[in-house]
Structure 1
């Protein structure tokens, strides 16, 4: 058993070493850590196989490490919202309790120069004193620090406007801390699938030994010589014993439930056992009958039986003798050995789930240099469910984020359905200029206030650069799951590319784009005359968006630190994410763009926005030319072209979908007999014109960015 545990721990250490090589070394030296540790504690050297510093005490140097300190980047390089992992200095004690979590380095946009790092440091301070044996998650609502959830979880206070970022920080802390705890503390950790079952102390029924055997409370394995010989069938140790005689009978019973413990140990023995068991610690009665005992001659009380092992779901658990001599239970067969064995309090074993006990057998072959062959017989044991309370399985942290934002997601989903209906059947809405104006301004107000400022659903170029950095580092994009509002908008936008093109997001769902439209309205009320850039300059700036986009994506892959600074070309974080609560240069830049937007309609969207450039590329997936045109459009009628605030209609009447923001003005003019010049002309002449149906997109209708 000891050799197997050593081998499995060596594999765990090798896994940690591999993680270290992949993630890169941390930024602190032993001296840096020592400055953070107060006497009588002192910092030792890192083991070669674990990227963590052992903490020992000068008062008890013989006791070994009293804790471990490590950098999360070495063990859990989980990409953040921006694509770069956190680096946190984590300190755990020898019992698996978090002593402290210190921020070393982070690249989350909302904490860099938006909210600042103070809210993040306050969030990390909540981990002090929490145990790794309980699931820890993050709430979006503020509540009591360290509160217990209904399912046994510890729920931490979140950070407003940074929900996704702090959830990723929580995963970083837990992944790194559990990796060290498993490798150095023999700690299996809280189940990621479900909390361990809890023994029901209120359930007791006096049972005989035979009754406990019959209902599975005691597991029994009989091994004959034929059974043992079959274990060695593929070795030279096979075929040595008579087949029918019994070698041993193994009995195993979980002692924590009162029904089993009191029946096997007696009232006094069970009370003695429970008085010494620590929370989360488990004990078993293990015995053998027959010629062969599971205890060999070298066994020392208080240690682990060398021939007996325990696994659960592939994880080994060390069993140690409780150092009490259990009397033979009434009704039990003659036994050759019996022990009460226990696990570590930090084991994390689930007593209500299947446990696999193994009994090893050894045979030797050869005279001069004998070869030893080791085989194991296994006994699967699951105590009856009636002895336990089974807490419900906690949801994954990302799914909790979705559940907690169910109302916001429902409201936004309803708005997206409404927008889809408006774009799918735009005639009724747009034929009345007043109706369209009210609907559009109302929807843009919803986009700005609810989707942007309240729900934090502003899509950003940071999501693209973060995805590039994450993929370049060989990681997955699971961090997107922690931001359900943005993910919903992303999914809808991707679908809209195929149906309507790029303008669905840029024209209706971008909070900063909505803010620019309101800035233009305010400018008009103040008497500012709208202007248009010279066509040559407009083309240069338009193409410049793609240069900015390409530069940001290349920097994200090749120079991540530079990309973090260059993404500030986008004012979304300043104006939407933190609501202008930021350093004055950023605020001045965002306000300057809004002033330009009041003079030159949607200046940033049309000439500088790298996300808009990416949207144009996505809009190439559009399958329909859904904006109707007449033969007279542009030949000679120029009404729509002159009224298009986006300059998205050519002189020949063709709509450039790459530049169209889908304001629906041209559709309203097209269907309005009082505004459409061809309809007015034909009405005077007594002629009727049948509306042209939207045409399926062809290769000829595709246009390149101008």
Structure 2
């Protein structure tokens, strides 16, 4: 097994620590019924928690017989979506019976930017914006890097103000609020779809005069017939078998004909209801509400003797996407449509106002058949006849399906992504062909300092692209909770940098990110340049201490990953050893202990070159391990390097060149200084010697003497 040369032990135990986290369980809600009651005083009353969905109904003393006026629930019970740090938010959400948000309250959160950075205030201000918004609206987040997405605002879209420096976290909050509220609305308010697409809209201006037979032949009226034998086969093998004497005597006779049609389309609605009836129905429907004409001919009726007009027929079920809807009778007087056969029963069913039914997609009509066996306490045996129906597409306009929220976040940040993408292409070209840029010291210095300035100012402080150990510990927490890493999609800049860094492991090793793309590393390098201008002498640690501290990074990484898996709250404190949030994410706008720690580390880095990167950084330790996937030794070496030439080694500020001349890639930050020296006839000692003497450097013999070439 390949050993970690810096550690003296294999790297694999660290990854086993991550796999062990998969055995941990999910979190549960925080509140009891009494806690909810304190938040919703009279005239509201909090009922017992429901069994079919973890929510508390809110009743009103003003309408004691009117049923729940709203529902309260904790998001962690319904949508435990991991945040940036890996722990789900827990929000207390209240919606009313019409699907309006009454309130959203933050109960628990572990996002680093809100814990001790920006504070909880901006998050509370953000969630307060949900009050009064409706689940039927498309709720999105404004792009805090500009108002580009506000230009697309339409009447059905609500844009909430985001929080600067917390873009990814705020997108997760929005998904948590909507997913948990929709889960309750589907169960308690009859919501049909989870709001991933916009329902089709009926074309009110499309009309063609047709009769019943034409509509039926074209499939615009759905139809199916069941014969007695087919119905009897449904009960075969059950206690209901053989209980219908007529079906046994006349198996080929008709049992029932079932019809269904979409009435909102003028061509169908006016044909079945007449012009006056159609107009009356449209006046009774709310915007977005659908109506379906359902009728039977034959032995079976749509309703039983206990049916009350305006209620939900007990025998009928209307569903979409396998979600049943409490469709009510529209309570309209119906005449038999012209040209229709003799009908046994007919109703108009209205979908619930909040249902979100998409009339352009298929629905199912279920009609129950109930047989009874026994006299005193009869056993009831039920079977359902199902008719699938889809109204013709020409009667609808189909709005484009909204993009997923994570993809919207990517689109909103395309300028930043484009700029960083071009920078990564440029960096790849330079690293792949480094000779031209590195052979001239001034040219290399200008390019390197310019790129590091871009990394610090644009990637770090503007685009908030500082990769962090929190992303690793957050991934551990997320996987341990049985969740996926989808929350990473809401931070496109970081995801782009992560992807590039992973690819760079195989080509150049750890130095690509640590040497060029880490904003905090760039800040340290600029401070080192300032110290040089101030004539501060760079200090060096004793070799033994240096090696011990390098190994300490791996120990710290292991402790953080284990803490994330088994003691998440401890991990939240331990990750503060990393000053990235203080110095880059928050731009030093933080309480003094954190600012003092970041300043102390920067001061050390001015005196000891890249001190934090080389001796403390746990993310750097993880990246160093990843760098061992490197396939090529891409830094060129001569046979004279280290034997006896020590030029590159003496000038390497990272101590990444061993005394024998080979590159210690675990320490290399890819500054390209040694590449420039290697190709420069004015700086490379073997080239200078050859130019002066006409022969190669004398190489040492085994006995310590030299031989010339």
Provide the residue aligned with 2:356 in structure 1.
348
Secondary structure of the residue aligned to 2:45 is strand
| Conserved 8 A contact 2:313-2:328 | yes
Secondary structure of the residue aligned to 2:310 is coil
Provide the residue aligned with 2:431 in structure 1.
423
Answering whether residue 102 of structure 2 is matched by residue 99 of structure 1, we say yes
Gaps of 5+ in 2: 1-23, 698-709
CA 1:38–1:409 in 2, change beyond 3 Å: closer, same or farther? same
1:632 shift after superposition: 0.8
Distance in 1 separating the partners of 2:225 and 2:190:
31
Correspondence list, 1:515-554, <5 A: 515-554=523-562
| Conserved 8 A contact 1:119-1:159 | yes
Query: Which runs of structure 1 show a deviation greater than 6 angstroms over 4 or more consecutive aligned residues?
Result: 144-148, 365-370
Distance in 2 separating the partners of 1:309 and 1:40:
35
1:312 shift after superposition: 1.2
Aligned residue pairs total: 668
Distance in 1 separating the partners of 2:386 and 2:64:
40
Provide the residue aligned with 2:16 in structure 1.
none
Provide the residue aligned with 1:52 in structure 2.
55
CA 1:362–1:129 in 2, change beyond 3 Å: closer, same or farther? same
1:34 corresponds, among 32, 37, 40, to: 37
2:643 corresponds, among 635, 641, 645, to: 635
1:66 corresponds, among 65, 69, 73, to: 69
1:121-150, Cα deviation, whole Å (9 max, x unpaired)? 121111111111233222314669999745
Distance in 2 separating the partners of 1:565 and 1:114:
13
Answering whether residue 513 of structure 2 is matched by residue 505 of structure 1, we say yes
Provide the residue aligned with 1:242 in structure 2.
250
CA 1:307–1:526 in 2, change beyond 3 Å: closer, same or farther? same
2:159 corresponds, among 135, 139, 155, to: 155
1:49 shift after superposition: 4.5
Deviates more, 1:137-146 or 1:487-496: 137-146
Answering whether residue 321 of structure 2 is matched by residue 321 of structure 1, we say no
Provide the residue aligned with 2:192 in structure 1.
188
CA 1:376–1:670 in 2, change beyond 3 Å: closer, same or farther? same
| Conserved 8 A contact 1:134-1:190 | no
Deviates more, 1:219-228 or 1:166-175: 219-228
Answering whether residue 461 of structure 2 is matched by residue 435 of structure 1, we say no
Distance in 1 separating the partners of 2:113 and 2:324:
42
1:214 corresponds, among 196, 217, 220, to: 217
1:54 shift after superposition: 1.8
1:124 corresponds, among 114, 123, 127, to: 127
2:295 corresponds, among 287, 293, 298, to: 287
CA 1:146–1:277 in 2, change beyond 3 Å: closer, same or farther? farther
Secondary structure of the residue aligned to 2:248 is coil
Provide the residue aligned with 1:176 in structure 2.
180
1:76 corresponds, among 79, 90, 93, to: 79
Distance in 2 separating the partners of 1:77 and 1:506:
34
Provide the residue aligned with 2:416 in structure 1.
408
| Conserved 8 A contact 1:83-1:469 | yes
1:457 corresponds, among 454, 457, 465, to: 465
Deviates more, 1:333-342 or 1:486-495: 333-342
Secondary structure of the residue aligned to 1:33 is helix
Gaps of 5+ in 1: 1-20, 690-706
Secondary structure of the residue aligned to 1:284 is strand
CA 1:210–1:579 in 2, change beyond 3 Å: closer, same or farther? same
1:333 shift after superposition: 1.4
Provide the residue aligned with 1:381 in structure 2.
389
CA 1:91–1:368 in 2, change beyond 3 Å: closer, same or farther? closer
| Conserved 8 A contact 2:25-2:480 | no
| Conserved 8 A contact 2:689-2:696 | no
| Conserved 8 A contact 1:253-1:284 | yes
Secondary structure of the residue aligned to 1:651 is coil
CA 1:188–1:453 in 2, change beyond 3 Å: closer, same or farther? same
Distance in 2 separating the partners of 1:154 and 1:656:
55
Q: Structure 1-normalised TM-score? A: 0.90
1:211 shift after superposition: 2.4
Answering whether residue 656 of structure 2 is matched by residue 648 of structure 1, we say yes
CA 1:362–1:42 in 2, change beyond 3 Å: closer, same or farther? closer
Provide the residue aligned with 1:694 in structure 2.
none
Aligned Cα root-mean-square deviation (Å): 2.3
1:332-376, Cα deviation, whole Å (9 max, x unpaired)? 112121111112111121111011112233445789997654332
CA 1:310–1:120 in 2, change beyond 3 Å: closer, same or farther? same
2:317 corresponds, among 301, 309, 331, to: 309
| Conserved 8 A contact 1:151-1:391 | no
Provide the residue aligned with 1:7 in structure 2.
none
1:680 shift after superposition: 0.6
Secondary structure of the residue aligned to 1:251 is strand
Secondary structure of the residue aligned to 2:39 is coil
Provide the residue aligned with 1:228 in structure 2.
231
Provide the residue aligned with 1:8 in structure 2.
none
Distance in 1 separating the partners of 2:31 and 2:415:
44
Provide the residue aligned with 1:447 in structure 2.
455
Secondary structure of the residue aligned to 2:465 is coil
Q: Structure 2-normalised TM-score? A: 0.90
Distance in 2 separating the partners of 1:48 and 1:191:
24
1:499-558, Cα deviation, whole Å (9 max, x unpaired)? 111111100110100111001111111221222122122122211111211111111111
Provide the residue aligned with 1:583 in structure 2.
591
1:290 shift after superposition: 2.8
